[in-house]
Structure formats: structure tokens, C-alpha cells
Chains A and B, each alone.
Chain A
Amino acid sequence: MSNHKVHQGRPAGFWAEAVILLVFVFLSGLACLLFPVPAAAHPPVQSSPPDVASYTITVTLDAEAKRLTARETITYLNTTATPIPNLVFHLYLNAFRDQNSLFLREGGPMHRGHGWDPNHPGWIRVTDLRLADGTVLTLAEIEDGTLARADLPVPVAPGERVEIELEFQAQLPRIFARTGYADDYFMVGQWFPKLGVWEDGGWNAHPFHANAEFYANFGTYDVAITLPDSYITGGTGLPVSTVDHDDGTQTVRYRAEGVIDFAWTASTRFREAPRIVDGIELLYLYLPEHEWTVERVLDAAEAAVTCYGRWYGPYPYARLTVVDAPDDGQGAGGMEYPTLVTAGPMSMLGLGSGLIRAEMERSLELVVVHEVGHQWWQSMVAFNEAEEPWLDEGFTDYSTLRVMEKVYGADTSLLDAGQWEMGYLQIHRMQYLLSPRLPMYGPAWEFGMMEYGVATYSKPVLSLTTLERTLGEERMMAIMQTFFQRYQFDHPTTEDFRAVAEEVSGQDLAWFFDGLVYGDGVLNYAVTDVSEHSVTVVRQNSPNSQLIVPTEVLVIFADGSSLLEAWSGAESEMTFTYADRPPVRSAQVDPEQKVVVDLCWADNGMTRRFQISPWLSLVVRLLYNLQNGLLVMGGL
């Protein structure tokens, strides 16, 4: 066995369909202009992204057979201090080859509600592999075939480059887990042999797990796609040339610098809707049946690009492509690649597209804002999505929530249907409460399906929001911006974020990192007693674990005066006494609901006297509803 890291992971089963509250949003950058973040005015972008792993690929699409035939040249630079004795490739499409793959064993044949079709599997075969000097290499599959290794005759020394040439064929599956085809629609992702990341004396490359995403070095991609000339294409980077051939085909060549992956799409039915925002071309490739989404998707993309650009740093590429997903291929929607994201009118609430069309549910916009957010937190700050998935999904969804709330309002950011309102934060609270006793930190394959959604989406969003509300928005944005600038085009870890957060805030943030990121503790603050001259508050934690978040207690006295007490939360029970003040009217711990990881806000406040008026209001409402129910059922 070579020195690459191959993490098998435990076969947890049924984590296929990640509870992916894929997150989405909409709106105009105007709203972001209305809510500028003081400290985040266009920080400088790193001028030259590293060129570690570069790919030149010429690929031909057989549109009938849904098959790719390609030649690929990889140039890999050893940026480490240790020589590279072998090469380890990802062959992701083999995850859809048969039911024995790790992906299908772990997740089952369903992913995000879309099934794997055993009659239309996907696979990839390397038919030739050699070094640039012609030395033929032998490639051996590892594990389930989603990894393969080739020994090198001579190790690649530190600072040296190795050039590899290979040929491969790939069969695209019926759309499943973000890739494949649906009739004449192609979304081609994770489609080519791709090297792992050489670091710490080994290849960081994991088999394709059901919950895990990707990790790769930055580089330049030059990809020439030959396909029938009736197809309209989109891809990572920019099209640099299109050549029409006499045989009814065309070759479209894309080039992208400073990116970690390359994906492309094609359909005969695509229509193009461009928009220029701050010199960036937003291009929406949509299907005619979704024409009603055009303005909303572009508005959402514009809002996202504008907000993220102001908060973290400008988008450095020339184009951002948003790709629509067909109704019978929505498994392709909601995915991020460098400079290209996929969307589609998928209902996050499971209510069908009717509410989305009526602009009552904002899932369409949410998915766009979320995936665009990944341009910052994954494509530019390239976390290891497999080993620390909370970083990219958590940072992205936290950013998504911020855009949603600022553009739509906190209470209506997901659902705004008359009397029925719901903010995106509440969806995360609901999901978090399903399984709150989880650390956020951990590799993707150690979480079950439900756990993955909580640990990588909901808990990080709630934790980062708690951090923001505790430190203040300005300081939080300073942390995020510093982190982005420091690690743009790099691969930071959780500890890198901790260092930046503590450095910028000037505080020991153990409560956040040890309690929430690495810890599985849960927390409930409550007021348990309000007497005439004292207030008792408690902190409750789960057995055998402790989570403390600093907070405040608001005490209101009978004469209308109030007192805001700071409480570190260190004591499990705390009594505040006010012998020299008027009688206490009420007390409320965390009155501004800053601690959004608090399991229950309903017990945070207490009054000394019975509240007759609100009680009567509720009873009157209950009575009225019962009367109406009786009328309906009575059939009189």
C-alpha cells in the first residue's frame, strides 16, 4: 500500500440523501447596498493563484450513447518537501458503476430524492496512462474503483513537476448525485481522472463517499469539448474558441485559471440570459420551461455576488455561470463548481413548485445564493470537503442566511405566504433540534444521513450566527474577511480559522471551538424563578458535557426601569437579588435571542404576575377555531 490516505469510512447506510437543506436565495444587490458591512470594502485579491495541478483535456461527447472519449494531460507540481513516489487518481464516476460502490452502499440508491438507475450506470475507464516521456504506467484500482494508483519509476522531487498523459472513456449515468444526462441535457461533473492532493508525505484522496465532496489543488484547466453543433454549452472558466466541423460537430474550448475543478454542461434547449455586475458576467443557462425563473435567478446571483464581494473579497473571475436543471433531472441542481453552479426550481419545503412560482417560497433564490456562496467558501478558500465538511457548507450557509435576511427580512427569508412566514434560520433550528448532540467537526463519512445535515449545515449556521451576535456583526465580518484574504487560493483547516478568529476578536473563543465545533454539548438557558426582589436563571447542559455561551439577563422592575446584567453562564444556577430596587416585574435571559443554539427560547423569560391578557387572547383564539371546526364537521 502506498502512502496515500485511503479512508474507507464506516458503512453507515442510508446517507445517500443528505438532509441537505440546500439553501438558496434571491435578490438584488441593491438591498446589500442598503446594508453595507462597515469593515468589508473590497479587500485585495491574491494576485496569482498557485498552479499546482493543471489539466489539458480534449473530450468528445457521443450524445446518443451518453459517452465521453478523452485525452488528458496533467502537470503536477510537488510543492511539498517530500518526494512523490506514485500517483493517486480519483475516478469518481465509478461510484455509479454498480451497487457495490462505497457511495451506493453507504447512501443507498437515492440521493437528494433522485434514484440511481442500474440500467443506466456511470463508469470511467483509463485506457492508457504514461508519462510525457512515453513511459507507460500501470494503473491499479483501489477499494471500490473510485480511486486508482500508479507507481512512478522515479519519484517526483520537491519543487519538480511531473507531466502525465492519459486516455479515458467515461459513461455518464442517468442524472444522479449531480452528474449525468436527462435526454439531451448533460451536466458533466466529476468526470475525468483527477489527482488527489499530495500533502504531509501522502496523497490526501478518499474513495467517493455518499456524503463526502471533494478536495483538489489549484491549477489551470484547458478543456476542448467536441459535440454536435446543435448543443449550447457552459463550463468552468471562459470559452476561448468555438470551431465548427464539417461533420455537424463543433469544438468549444474552455480555459480557467486558479480553479480546483472543471465541470461543463450542454443541452440543445439551453437559452442564455446574461447580466453584467461590477464587470463580472453573470450567465444563466436556462431551459425554456423555466423562463419564469430568469429574472429571479439573475437577481439572486447579483445579490449574492455583490454581498459576498463586499463582505469577504471580490469575485476574481470574468464569468459566473448558473445552470438550470430540468424537471426530470433535478438531481443535477444545487451543486457548486468553480465559476459554475447549478440551480433549479426545487422546493425546499417539499410543497411543489407552485409556491415558488408565486414567489411565496424562496427556494429558487436560496439555492442560487447558496451555490454562489461556495465560490468564496470552497472554490477560492478550498477546504477539504471530505475531512472537514462543516467548513465549506457551514461558512457558505451562514453567508447565505446573512444575504437572505438582509434582502428579504429575517422572518420571511424562506416563506412569505400571507400569514404564513418562516425565516431560513428557523429551518436550521428545526433541523438542529432533530439531533443537537453532535460535534460539527469530523469527516463526512462518520456522519449518518441526518447527522450530516445537522453537523455540516444547521449546527454551523447556528453556531456562527451565535458567534456573530455575541461578538457583534462588525467584528465577525472582520474575522471572516481576514480569514478569506489570508487563505484565498489555499487549503485552511478548522485550526486556521480558530487562530484568525481569536486573533481578530482578541478573545479566547474556547466556548465556540471546544464547545460547539469539537464538542457535542447542548445548552438551554431558562429563568426558573422571579420573586419580588430576586431572579433565578439556570444553564442546562446535556449529561457529561458542558457548553457555556456568554449571555445577558434583562430584568424589568415594577416602575418600568430595567437592568441588563452580563452573565458568563459559568454558573449552572445564578440568582440576582435586588433588595434596594422596586419589585421585579419580569426577567429574561438572552433577551435579544443571540444564542441561537439555545434549545428552547420559550422558557427564557418569566413574569412575576400571571399574564391574563395574552392568556385570554389565546383562549379566545382557541375557542374561535374550535367553533369553526365544529361548524365544518357538523355540516349544518
Chain B
Amino acid sequence: MNGWRAFQLGISRTIRYWWVVLILFGVNLLSALSLAVLPAGSLASQFGHRIAIQAAADGVDAWLVVETLMSPLSSGALGGQSVLELANWLQQITLLGLLTALVLPLLAWLPAAFLTGGLLLTYVEVTQPFRWRRFLWGCWHWWGAFLLLGVMQGILVILLLLPLTGAVVGLVAIAGGWSAWVGLPLLTVVVAVGLAWIEGARIAAVLGGMRNPFHALGLALRFTIRHLPAVGVLYGLALALLGLLHILFRGLLLPRLPLDGWLLVLVVQQIFILARLWARLVRLAGGAALYRDSRIPRAADPPAVVHRRDDPRGYAQTGQPGGGSFAAQTSPGQPAGQSQGDGAKDSVAKR
């Protein structure tokens, strides 16, 4: 399968399993709401009657930023008088900000690690209708493995991506515009390759029924290297889709919205978040199709499974060895449809 076909399948499968997108969106929205409650309440109590809140809502002016940054010093210069509400508010916001900085990664990481197993299982078992129990079983089954993968991903980001990003930003700041034409594409390629590897490891784990992240990473690395053109095209297209959405929403749509029309802004912003999530899922669904269709050596024998009515997974392991490749897993209980071509499965599903 080539990358373009995988991309097409990614689009069709994310549309077919639209529930998955909605689940992710709901989790994202609820997580953000839980984080927004305290600052919003603080803003209401401290600034609900201040005219300055209108200035902030109209687009934050530099003077407001300056005063916010410097307000503890201003308050100190006045002998700590409390009328400078801004200073008090800033102290609260600083505490909330620190709290958020601690909680945000957890709120982002734990649900993402949890949901990935379920959604990938959905895309792998592509001929099956969406079933909540199956979805949740997938979430639970691979949660631990994906938490570990997330930790490794975080380490890679801290050790490699952040320094590289800093170097590129520094280069652009010092050397000027021309360096951006070199640095930013380089950064994009590194991000794309890193994403393809890490996300490939998750797909490989689900497809191979394994929970050892190191094996999954090894498989994904080999797969990425051997199928570089297809992976490259898939990730290029998927990232281009994401970029297009950013340009459309952030570059064209959002700046033109009236800042005081908060309801319209809210709707458009939420559509954008939904679209961002969808674009990511296109990448994952396309990747799942690519992996399923390709023959690569497995790090370990995958579980050969048969359906059993009382098994919450929908199938049970038999201990039979697999056929030496993802596409060769033909046991009755393995993730559904693996022995069929993706095009055939989709045509079945469409019918």
C-alpha cells in the first residue's frame, strides 16, 4: 500500500468511526474546562467590574501585560496597599498557573495514553462496528504500555526536540530570515520522523497484540525505515492537512472574528479543536492501514485468538503462533479483518 492510499483510508475510517473523534473531543473539552474553572472565577471576582477587562477582551494591550508583569513591584512601591487588585489577582493567577503547569501534562498525558489503545483497536479492527466495550477494553489493555511510551516520548522531546527547536529559533534570531528556510524544514522533518516512529510503535503494539513498548519501538523503527516512502507520504499529507487547518482557522478565520462575539468565537474555536483532533486521527488511522497491509517480521509471536462469547475483548487467545507478519494473522479471533485487503474491508464496511 502506498502512502496516498493509506491517507485516503485514514480519512474514510475516521469519518466512519466519527464517535472516536467525538470521544476525544469530549475528553479534551472536559479536561480544559476543569482547568479553566478557577482562573475564570478569579477573573470574575477581581475584574468583573473593572473597565480594564474590556480592554483585555478587545485584545490584550501591551500596557496591560506590563502592568500585570510588574504589579507585585507596583504594590510594593505603594507600601503593599491592597487597592492594587491586579497584584492580588496576579498572585492568585501565578499560583494557579503553577498548579496548571503541573496538572496540564497529567491531564493531557493520562487520557491520551488511555484512549489511544481503544481508538487504534477500532481502526485495526476495521470491519467491525464500533463497540464501546471493545473500545474500552483496548483503552485499558494498552494503557500501561502507552504510558511508558509517553514517558519515552517525553524524554525524547526534552533531550532532542527542545534543544533542536531552541537552536533553530536562536539561529533565526541571530542570522535572520534566510536561516528560517533551512531551520524550519529541518525541524519539521525531525518532528515528522519522530511522530512516525512513536505513533508507529503504538500501532504496532495494538496490531501485534503486544504490550512491550521496546519491542513495539523496534518494530516501528524497522517498519519506518523499510517503508520510508509510504510513511513519508502519509505523514507529509497528514501534516499538510494539519497545517492547512491551522492556516484556515488561525490565519484566516479566527483573526476575522469579532472579539466581543464570544459565542461565535467559541463555536469556531471548538470546530477548530475538533478538526485538529480529526486530522491527527487521520494520521493514526492511515498508519494503522499501512501497518496492517505491510509484511514485516514481528518481534514476538502475536496472540492467535478465537471468538468467545464471554470474553470482553470479543476474542480469546489460543496460543497459536502467527504467520510471521501483521497481514498474515489469519486466526479467527485476531483483530478483525487482518487477512483481507484494506480496500476490500472498506468496501464491505461501506456496503
Contact = CB atoms under 8 A, between A and B. Distances in A.
Given A634-B112, A636-B116, 4 more contacts: A429-B63, A615-B53, A626-B104, A630-B32
Contacts of B185: none
A627 B51 CA distance: 28
Of the listed residues B49, B51, B108, B150, the one surrounded by the most CB atoms of chain A closer than 10 A to its CB is B51
Interface stretch (B3-11, B135-143, B166-174, B215-223): B166-174
A69 interface: no
Interface of B: 24, 28-29, 31-33, 35-36, 39-40, 43-44, 47-54, 56-58, 61-64, 66-71, 73-74, 77-79, 81, 83-86, 100, 104-105, 107-109, 111-112, 115-116, 150, 153, 170, 172-177, 179, 198, 259-260, 262, 265-266, 269, 273, 276-277, 280-281
B259 A617 contact: yes
B262 A613 contact: yes
30 contacts: A351-B173, A422-B62, A426-B66, A430-B66, A430-B69, A430-B70, A435-B73, A436-B77, A524-B74, A524-B81, A542-B79, A599-B78, A601-B52, A602-B52, A602-B67, A603-B52, A611-B49, A611-B54, A615-B57, A626-B32, A626-B104, A627-B273, A630-B28, A630-B108, A633-B104, A633-B108, A633-B109, A634-B109, A635-B108, A635-B109
Contacts of B81: 524, 540
Residue of B64, B73, B172, B281 most packed against chain A (CB within 10 A):
B73
Contacts of B53: 611, 614-615, 618
B43 A618 contact: yes
A586 interface: yes
Given A355-B173, A433-B74, A616-B262, A626 B36 contact: yes
Interface string A416-435: 00000111001001100111
A352 B52 contact: no
Contacts of A42: none
Contacts of A636: 24, 112, 115-116, 277, 280-281
A333 to B, nearest CB: 17
A406 interface: no
A634 B57 contact: no
A510 B308 CA distance: 93
Q: Which 7 A-B pairs have the closest CB atoms?
A: A605-B51, A352-B173, A614-B57, A634-B112, A633-B108, A433-B70, A626-B32
With most chain B CB atoms within 10 A of its CB, the pick from A434, A540, A614, A619 is: A614
Given A602-B64, A633-B108, A633-B109, A434 B70 contact: yes
B57 A617 contact: yes
The A interface is mostly helix, strand or loop, or mixed, namely mixed
A355 B169 CA distance: 12
Interface in A585-612: 586, 588, 593, 599-611
A588 B77 CA distance: 23
A560 interface: no
Interface residues of A, number: 68
A296 to B, nearest CB: 14
Contacts of A614: 53-54, 56-58, 260
A607 B62 CA distance: 22
A138 interface: no
A617 B57 CA distance: 6
A630 B104 contact: yes
B147 to A, nearest CB: 12
Contacts of A194: none
A58 interface: no
A636 B23 CA distance: 13
B51 A588 contact: yes
A80 interface: no
Nearest to B177: A358
A601 B67 contact: yes
A611 B266 contact: no
B32 to A, nearest CB: 4
A630 B29 CA distance: 9
Contacts of B77: 433, 436-437, 522, 542, 599
A568 to B, nearest CB: 20
A622 interface: yes
B13 to A, nearest CB: 16
Nearest to A633: B108
Interface string A239-267: 00000000000000000000000000000
B255 to A, nearest CB: 8
Contacts of A528: 83
A618 B150 CA distance: 32
A615 B44 contact: yes
A374 to B, nearest CB: 26
A104 to B, nearest CB: 29
B292 to A, nearest CB: 20
A612 to B, nearest CB: 8
B84 A600 contact: yes
Contacts of A606: 49-51
Instruction: Select the residue from A603, A629, A632, A634 with max chain B CB neighbours within 10 A.
Output: A634
Interface in A471-504: none
